[in-house]
Amino acid sequence: MAPSPSSSPSASAGCVGGAVGGLSEAELAGQVLMIGTAVDSPNDLGGTVQKYHLGGVFLHGRSTHTADQLRAGITELKQNASVPLLISLDQEGGSVQTLKGPDFPILPSAQKLGAGPPATLRSTTGDSARRLAGIGINLNLAPVADTVPADIGERNPPIGYWHRQFGSDPDKVATSIRTVVPASQEAGVLTVLKHFPGLGRVTANTDTSANAADSTTTADDPFLKPFAAGIEAGSAAVMMSSARYPRLDRSAIAPFSQPIVTGLLRQKLGFTGLIMSDDVGAAAALESVPVGQRAVRFVAAGGDMVLTIRPEDAAPMASALIDRAGSDPAFRARLTDAAQHVLTAKKRAGLLSC
């Protein structure tokens, strides 16, 4: 089932505004959190969803379960939420494919699909999205919009090594992104462009290193073209990289950088949708920052939904967000705005009844 279109933009805004206006501070904090849990036992997180009013759940790991088994677990998990959940996973293809059971065909890598005909890319993406929507997934953390230069290739640990990129030419990658976004979203699963402003040039992985940096990317870089293409195609969400980009901001990594999150993505590229973090729980790039402050700094920079794969992060993150909102009116307004972006994505996914 495809996401339900709003009767009009103003009606949608009114619906979301009313829903956000009825949330307590604790509920606002919860809505901007997406917490991870094992894909084969999603309801292990049920108590956390209920206690912290979570806005989303990320299903991680690898599964060979059938569609019926997965649907049953996801349905049970959803019953814990007072506001319907965004349920996400990584179903890119190639080496990054969460669901590999009998109802979920093995997908080629993005590099292979990007080199083939657009019709195959479109049909493969649409078929995969329909299978995800059928079990209750409404957000896929894909497509990868990073461009990996040919002279770096597999020496790029997070993307190139695994062939997760659609190509080495940003114009060609942009063409693939223009195909993938509508193919997925028209089949009922919202897309997340990742990893802004690009992970294709780094030579360290933010999951395992605090030294991932791209000293080339600028605000007018051609490698931003695939992200711009995805935004123009209507992608519901964009995920921030956790690397450093000294030519964009010398003082902060991307998820904590107002010049990158708000200045470049929101203002220069004109993105109005949901801005997500990459995993800020287990990633080495954020080890030096207290857990709760990871959520606060991301939201303060302009981000909307904080992703962590660790369930134990929900408590300190929610507490830090609530404490900051209670003492800082400007931050409370930003938190409210972030929750509004989350609920707008939920409205777009057909999750809000108004």
What the chain holds in terms of domains, given with CATH numbers, is 28-348 (3.20.20.300)
Q: What is the pLDDT of residue 2?
A: 47
Q: What is the pLDDT of residue 8?
A: 60
Measure the CA–CA gap between 300 and 27, rounded to whole angstroms: 18
> Going residue by residue through the chain (354 aa), what tens digit of pLDDT does each one get?
444 444 466 667 788 988 999 999 999 999 999 999 999 999 999 999 999 999 999 999 999 999 999 999 999 999 999 999 999 999 999 999 999 999 999 999 999 999 999 999 999 999 999 999 999 999 999 999 999 999 999 999 999 999 999 999 999 999 999 999 999 999 999 999 999 999 999 999 899 888 899 999 999 999 999 999 999 999 999 999 999 999 999 999 999 999 999 999 999 999 999 999 999 999 988 999 999 999 999 999 999 999 999 999 999 999 999 999 999 999 999 999 999 999 999 999 999 987
Token pair belonging to 150: 């040919």
Residue of 306, 276, 311 lying closest to 293 (CA atoms): 306
Q: What is the pLDDT of residue 91?
A: 98
Q: What is the pLDDT of residue 7?
A: 46
Q: For 60-87, how does the pLDDT look when each residue is reduced to its tens digit (9 = 90+)?
A: 999 999 999 999 999 999 999 999 999 9
**How far lies 41's CA from each of 130, 131, 214, 276, in Å?**
22, 19, 37, 24
pTM for this prediction: 0.95
Token pair belonging to 152: 């770096």
Measure the CA–CA gap between 241 and 255, rounded to whole angstroms: 7
Q: What is the pLDDT of residue 1?
A: 40
